[in-house]
Chain A
């Protein structure tokens, strides 16, 4: 009985749309509800599957949530909100755009998005890496945080909208501005509002900052950090490393680790 169960990696109800083709599990997610889809992914993850391909994804939420192994997930279509929420290890590649709240409280793993990502991308992200080829929406990196060795990294190839790095509490956020025209600056307003830890690196002009942060020039150590992340970005999206590094980077950091300490204490 035990051996019989072992051969059937996935439940019977999933077998009509999930097939193992030469070690890659191909899932046709057309009309599959997110709850079912995530149960299926958990089954594959807990059985040590290495690679999954999801096609016909139209807005299914929480894809990859709670998964803990090194599973590789390729997504074709438009994944729904909270992609990779609470994810703890897998690597997700989106061949398309992502919606809102990608990487919500993600703990470890990697997300690569061949397109744009929406609002509150990286919300409360605690670890792992995220690379977005194009632009991102509002409040990206909101309340990213780090603790001892857990540190999140996010690289945005394009530009960001308002409240970038809002309430940021740790981690590294890089915005490359590759979608801006020659001489055009980033238009994001209220950047770093409420930020109290972590670093935002921006390539290009950025003006409208929250009152808790300051802009500084980058030093050698900063450039090393930027270079290693940009290299990964270029590897994922086949971009020109030298051209990107020719741009001028600045860093945005908070004045204080407890900007509101006095507000509540006195």
Chain B
């Protein structure tokens, strides 16, 4: 077993040396983050500015929030930027993170077939909108992947007093983009973060039907990972990234990012 493991490492190092020629010696950190930030193009817009300011590159591994926490918990990422405040606070309390700060917000929106069979566009609140979908038993596509969006969606059902289930409620177990693709294919309602929706190209008959309720507020937080637990990580570099996100330059860079003329993320830096 030991020799098999070492053989594997030797193989990996061989592969690594093959790939290394293409990379220069720029210092970098690995950031675990969510698909919504990556797919919207936010990182492509702000990371080059950070790299210019500090000479540090940021390598983004974009996964669902659940998986991002897991990657950080195992010490495989230097920094974490996700949107599940409850989960983030628990992560810090459990000793995996040392500091958490609000970075920016965007919001969730309810998307559905243009004809709006459940009539959610006339709802007064998101709770009412969800109740109408449940009453009409109109198809609803849920992420079902324990992501930040999925967790927020389940909290909203709970707040609306609806136990989602049955034929009409479909848990897809996919990321935001694939879920939108599926919803477009089966004319289902779906909750999406605004960033992914605005940047999404394959809309078919889907339209934005409900927005603006404060309950749809989506807070992103940056977390510093515990040095005590994972001494091998690049804590100095990660701290610079964390501080830059909260700085005037970082916040301005976030505000300046637009897709199709729309600002998608609203900076609101605040440390806990």
Is B a genuine binding partner of A?
Answer: no
B interface residues with partner A (beta carbon < 8 Å): none
